Amino acid sequence: MKALTRVGQTLLAPVLAVLIALVISAAVMLAIGVDPFRALEVMVDFGDTPSQQTTAIVVVLNRAVPLFLAGLAVAVAFRMGLFNIGVEGQYRMATVLAAGAGAAVSLPAPLHVLVIIVVAMLVGAVWAGIVAVLKVTRGVSEVISSIMLNFIALGLASFLLTGPLRGSEPGASIITTEEIPESGWFPSLNGVFGAIGLADPPRQLYGFLLVALVVGVVVAVVIKRTRFGFDLRATGLSASAASASGVNARRMVLTTMLLSGATAGLIGLPDLLGSNHTYGTEFTSGLGFLGIAVALLGRNNPLGIAIAAVLFAFLDRAAVPLQIAGIPSSVVTIIQGTIVLAVVVANEVSRRITRRQAESGSAVAPPSTGDGSTGGGQGPDGGPPPDGPVGTGPALTNATGAAGRTSPTGSTS
Amino acid sequence: MKAAALLLAGSLALAACASDEDTSGSGGSGGGDSSEMPQIGLAYDTGGRGDKSFNDSAYAGVEAAVEAFGGTAEDNIQELSPNSDASNRADLLTQLADQGFNPIIAVGFAYGDVIGEVATQYPDVDFAVVDSTGVDVADNVTGLLFAANEGSFLGGVAAATKSETDHVGFVGGVETPLIQSFEAGFTAGAQAVNPDVIVDVQYISPAGDFSGFNDPARGQVVAQGMFDGGADIVYAAAGGSGTGVFQAAAASGGRAIGVDSDQYETVGDASLQSVIMTSVLKRVDNAVEAYIGTVVDGSVEGGVDVVNDLSTEGVGLSYSGGFIDDIQSTIDDYTQQIVDGEITVPETP
């Protein structure tokens, strides 16, 4: 009976969230004169020919890989109550330097790719490490310092791109770094389609998908099955309690931010190693901010983040067919925003129910979520919503702002 | 979480089914009945329609062409805008091609990165890309280029001639090579009239951060700084951020120069209209319309660039509002010198 209640509680939040989001989205669509069922039909239509259908799958997966990594990077910090808004800057710095390093060296294929990955992870970790050092030595809120560092990273990446690392010829409209030689490219997974009897699409499926899966499993194991992960989660649930039981809060902040930054460093690599082979002025930006939404939606759980990333990628792809069907593509933004908002609300509701039960003493229920994003509330107020250059819309910005108000724990104090 | 997983798996399964069954739904729109009238696909860059400038100008050209050939905007034009981080540019072009649109016009140099790959996959479709080259990209891609530096030169001439403080300004949206060619032309033009003129140059955002094309608030701050520093005419080569420059001009009693479209006509605000002295036109509309013409009559050849400059009237100044009517002879004089090759306008600052 107890087990059943627990399962019910775990399921309650996401089911509520999805239901609420669907109802609100449908209502908004009706209000702007769009038939919600028609919109849904268009969104799930992957095309007529087998090749179009597999292309659509590739588009969704290729978009999901960086979103998944971004969500992971944010979630690692979230789990211990740190709000790393700096993922954006961390991956930008990592990508531009990794692209530069990749173009500068010449190595046999697997080693070359490995070097690029290691450089990206190191740069991401160092950039996030600045935030951690500021926090443990000077008590600077990581929310503030990581936002500030985003601007510095943007300017620095631009300087590196237009200055020392510039590889495109003068006068070209798109400035890029030197192209990474072919030994540094990550092979695509298109062979898989043939192997399982699907049409081989013209678009390349990023091989980095495999790396992302490995990273996801490693993060899951570290958080759930190691001493470090236990300390991390304990600090996220109650910094003072963890500290009292012997967890070194300073060291935890430092290691967690390094881990989060190293993961963030990988975000740009699917695009860099899979298709662009250069970092340039047109390189996808804003993934770090989207990662916050993805982490929230996935409730900071690697499996949940994977699902959230695929869902976001699926919705993103749908924006194009929606426009062709004469439906405003902002429908997608509305759905993304309401889903994230609904998840935040649902998490909070389920947390309160759990707490009330615990308080009444009827059950020794553990906190139902166990993720940093809803557990806190005792820390300093979160910073302003990230005013990124490419927010997905006001709804998302609000959602991330809400997270900021509940996550920090002030574990150093 | 399991429920979400199930739902998602369900929706993906649905997706597979739906796409198998529904073969008539979306394919129909692109097919087209009349063989004469092309179905035109138009892919914008970030900013999209409603920027009162570049993208709107491209649409105006397509609309004019469609009407000239007896079609309607509703039936014959499909516009697409990218997602917020513009990571799906290639997908926009692919989807347009899959839906049977031909020709497909990509608006913005950012498409230069991806159009080659897509065009190679659809050899029977004609592609055009505005502001980027079609040479050595693919055999079916035409580049529609503009000598933005020449138009900006005339803007510099007008600014320096009209300036009472011998101090003008240039606000660039993003520090990209394209906008730098605007700056180079503007500075050269101003100095051609008055070698001692002070030209303030500032960009709203650095290369790699495209927010500068769509941030009127920061445009206003930057321009206000120039007006406060003594400049009386500021050229806004900043896409959607130009509105902020106009607001700063109105607030300081200065004047501004618009870009791409005739912004005196498109700004849609009487108080701002009076500060727009002229606009450096980039006739994207004419170029796009002419391109569609070549597609319809079959004379289109891919793998080439169509360069629109002063000699083809692809760039120039607008005279709406009559603020620079009195110096038209000076402008015409410089125009002639550039066309004749007596003046070579630099492309980089």
**pLDDT, tens digit, for every residue of A304-318?**
899 999 999 998 888
Least confident of A76-85, A120-129, A382-391: A382-391
Residues B286-306: what's their mean pLDDT? 88
Of the candidates B26, B88, B109, the beta carbon closest to that of A173 is on B109
pLDDT of B40 reads: 92
Q: How many domains does chain B have?
A: 2
Asked whether residue B246 falls in the same domain as residue B310, the answer is no
In the sheet with B198-205, reading across from the earlier edge strand, the strands are: B198-205, B167-174, B233-237, B255-260, B276-282, B315-317
> What rounded mean pLDDT belongs to chain A?
83
Q: What is the rounded distance in angstroms from the CA atom of residue A98 to the CA atom of residue A90?
A: 12
pLDDT of A20 reads: 84
Q: What is the rounded distance in angstroms from the CA atom of residue A273 to the CA atom of residue A36?
A: 38
The CB-side HSE value for B21 (13 A sphere, CA atoms) comes to 9
Residue B19 counted as domain residue:
no
pLDDT of A194 reads: 83
Residues A71-76: what's their mean pLDDT? 96
CB pairs under 8 A between A and B: 168
**CA neighbor of A402 nearest in space, from A326, A343, A336:** A343
Among all residues of chain A, which has the CA nearest to that of B347?
A171
Mark A24-44 as b/e (b = at least 16 C-beta within 10 Å): bbbebbeeeebebeebbbbbb
Q: What is the rounded distance in angstroms from the CA atom of residue A76 to the CA atom of residue A222?
A: 10
B336 touches chain A (CB under 8 A): no
The CA-CA-CA angle for residues A159, A164, A165, to 5°, reads: 90
Of the candidates B1, B29, B94, the beta carbon closest to that of A299 is on B1
Q: What is the pLDDT of residues A355-403, one digit of tens each?
A: 888 887 654 444 444 444 444 333 333 334 443 343 333 333 333 333 4
> What's the pLDDT band for A214 if we cut at 50, 70, 90?
very high
Tell me which residues of chain B, numbers 174 to 203, contact chain A at a CB-CB cutoff of 8 Å: 174-178
pLDDT of A68 reads: 97
DSSP for B150-184 reads HHHHHHHHHHHHH-SSSEEEEEEEE--HHHHHHHH
E-assigned strand segments in chain B: 40-43, 77-80, 104-107, 127-130, 141-146, 167-174, 198-205, 233-237, 255-260, 276-282, 304-308, 315-317
Q: Do B176 and A175 touch (CB under 8 A)?
A: yes
Complex-level ipTM: 0.74
Residue A412: pLDDT over 70: no
Chain B positions in Cβ-Cβ contact with residue A52 (cut-off 8 Å): 98
Q: Which of the 8 DSSP states describes residue A130?
A: H
Asked whether residue B176 falls in the same domain as residue B129, the answer is no
B347 touches chain A (CB under 8 A): yes
Q: What is the pLDDT of residues B147-191, one digit of tens each?
A: 989 999 999 999 999 999 999 999 999 888 889 999 999 999 999
Token pair for B56: 């709107």
Residue B29: pLDDT over 90: no
Asked whether residue B72 falls in the same domain as residue B165, the answer is no
Q: What is the rounded distance in angstroms from the CA atom of residue B222 to the CA atom of residue B227?
A: 9
Residue in this structure with the two tokens 């989807």, named with its chain if needed: B95
pLDDT of A282 reads: 83
Residue B24 counted as domain residue:
no
Least confident of A99-113, A191-205, A368-382, B303-317: A368-382
B10 touches chain A (CB under 8 A): no
Asked whether residue B117 falls in the same domain as residue B219, the answer is no
Measured N-to-C along each axis, helices A302-324 and A287-297 cross at an angle, to the nearest 10 degrees, of: 120
Residues B225-250: what's their mean pLDDT? 92
Chain A positions in Cβ-Cβ contact with residue B85 (cut-off 8 Å): 284-287, 290, 390
Residue in this structure with the two tokens 């290639």, named with its chain if needed: B90
First-to-last C-alpha distance (Å) of chain B:
56
Asked whether residue B264 falls in the same domain as residue B159, the answer is yes
Residue A94: pLDDT over 90: yes
Q: What is the rounded distance in angstroms from the CA atom of residue B180 to the CA atom of residue A380?
A: 44
B299 touches chain A (CB under 8 A): no
Q: For a pLDDT cut of 90, what percent of chain B falls above it?
A: 43
pLDDT of A11 reads: 62
Q: Do B87 and A154 touch (CB under 8 A)?
A: no
pLDDT of A362 reads: 53
Q: What is the rounded distance in angstroms from the CA atom of residue A229 to the CA atom of residue A277?
A: 35
Q: What is the rounded distance in angstroms from the CA atom of residue B239 to the CA atom of residue B246?
A: 12
Residue B113 counted as domain residue:
yes
Residue B240 counted as domain residue:
yes
Chain A positions in Cβ-Cβ contact with residue B205 (cut-off 8 Å): 389
Residues A238-249: what's their mean pLDDT? 87
Q: What is the rounded distance in angstroms from the CA atom of residue B178 to the CA atom of residue B132?
A: 10
Asked whether residue B192 falls in the same domain as residue B335, the answer is yes
Residue B273: pLDDT over 80: yes
Residue B215: pLDDT over 50: yes
A167 or A131, higher pLDDT: A131
Q: Is A149 helix (H, G, I), strand (E, B) or coil?
A: helix
pLDDT of A328 reads: 84
> What's the pLDDT band for A335 if we cut at 50, 70, 90?
confident
> What's the pLDDT band for A213 if we cut at 50, 70, 90?
very high
Q: Whole-model pTM?
A: 0.79
Q: Do B206 and A158 touch (CB under 8 A)?
A: yes
Asked whether residue B267 falls in the same domain as residue B295, the answer is no
- Residue A223 and residue A235 in contact, taking contact as beta carbons nearer than 8 Å: no
> What's the pLDDT band for B99 if we cut at 50, 70, 90?
confident
Amino acid letter at A372?
G
Phi, psi for residue A273 in degrees, rounded to 5: -90, -20
pLDDT of A143 reads: 93
Asked whether residue B168 falls in the same domain as residue B236, the answer is yes
> What's the pLDDT band for A8 if we cut at 50, 70, 90?
low
Residue B22 counted as domain residue:
no
Segments making up each domain of chain A, as ranges = 2-406
> What's the pLDDT band for A342 if we cut at 50, 70, 90?
confident
pLDDT of A112 reads: 94
Tell me which residues of chain A, numbers 203 to 232, contact chain B at a CB-CB cutoff of 8 Å: 203
Residue B115 counted as domain residue:
yes
pLDDT of B211 reads: 81
Q: Which domain holds residue B178?
A: 148-281+319-339
Residue B74: pLDDT over 70: yes
Asked whether residue B175 falls in the same domain as residue B273, the answer is yes
Residue B152 counted as domain residue:
yes
pLDDT of A389 reads: 40
> What rounded mean pLDDT belongs to chain B?
84
Asked whether residue B236 falls in the same domain as residue B294, the answer is no
Of the candidates A172, A301, A310, the beta carbon closest to that of B1 is on A301
Residue A408: pLDDT over 90: no
Of the candidates B26, B79, B210, the beta carbon closest to that of A45 is on B26
Of the candidates A161, A280, A321, the beta carbon closest to that of B26 is on A321
Q: What is the pLDDT of residues A139-152, one digit of tens each?
A: 999 999 999 999 99
> What's the pLDDT band for A345 if we cut at 50, 70, 90?
confident
pLDDT of A406 reads: 40
Residue B8: pLDDT over 60: no
Here the CATH number for the domain that contains residue B221 is 3.40.50.2300
Tell me which residues of chain B, numbers 228 to 287, contact chain A at a CB-CB cutoff of 8 Å: none
Asked whether residue B218 falls in the same domain as residue B335, the answer is yes
Least confident of A46-55, B49-58, B192-201: B49-58
Mark A259-275 as b/e (b = at least 16 C-beta within 10 Å): bbbbbbbbbbbbbbbbb
Token pair for A385: 């919503």
pLDDT of A103 reads: 93
Residue B6 counted as domain residue:
no
Q: Do A52 and B98 touch (CB under 8 A)?
A: yes
Asked whether residue B154 falls in the same domain as residue B261, the answer is yes
